[in-house]
Structure 1
């Protein structure tokens, strides 16, 4: 997830934009902004970079397996459609 320190820094930056006359209210606003940011970021469907890399590796392995299976299926289909020489009888034996 998002680093809580980054959220706090963002809230402070937004709070710093408030004029000095309203500094007392700024502390309250900063806290509310921090809370809102945490809530909204929690609603996002985000994963960590580590989770993403793991899933990418899983997908790569799965793709390799699918490619191998496709090759095997094609080979089996090719064997099935190729006429077998065992089934053919020589014409000289039939006479």
Structure 2
């Protein structure tokens, strides 16, 4: 999931850009904005970089195994066709 510090930082930056009249409500607005960001990001089904890297490594190993099996099948087919 997304690091809570990042959400706090983002909501703080957005609330700081508000006009002066709305900055009195900064605390409430910042809390609501953070909640909205968490909700929106949760719906996106994002993964962490670590999870992405693990799956990339798994995919690379799977591709290597597939290539080895394809080569093995090709060799066996060649043996069957050339007795």
TM over 0.5: yes
Question: 1:64-79 maps to which residues of 2 (within 5 A)?
Answer: 64-79=64-79
Higher Rg: 1
Q: TM-score, normalised by structure 2?
A: 0.86
More relative contact order in 1 or in 2 (CA 8 Å, sep 6+)? Answer: 2
**Which one has the bigger helix percentage?**
2
Q: Cα RMSD over matched residues? A: 1.4
Structure 2 residue runs without a partner (length 5+): none
Q: TM-score, normalised by structure 1?
A: 0.77
Structure 1 residue runs without a partner (length 5+): 85-95
Q: Residues 79 and 4 (structure 1 numbering): CA distance in 2 closer, same or farther, change over 3 Å?
A: same
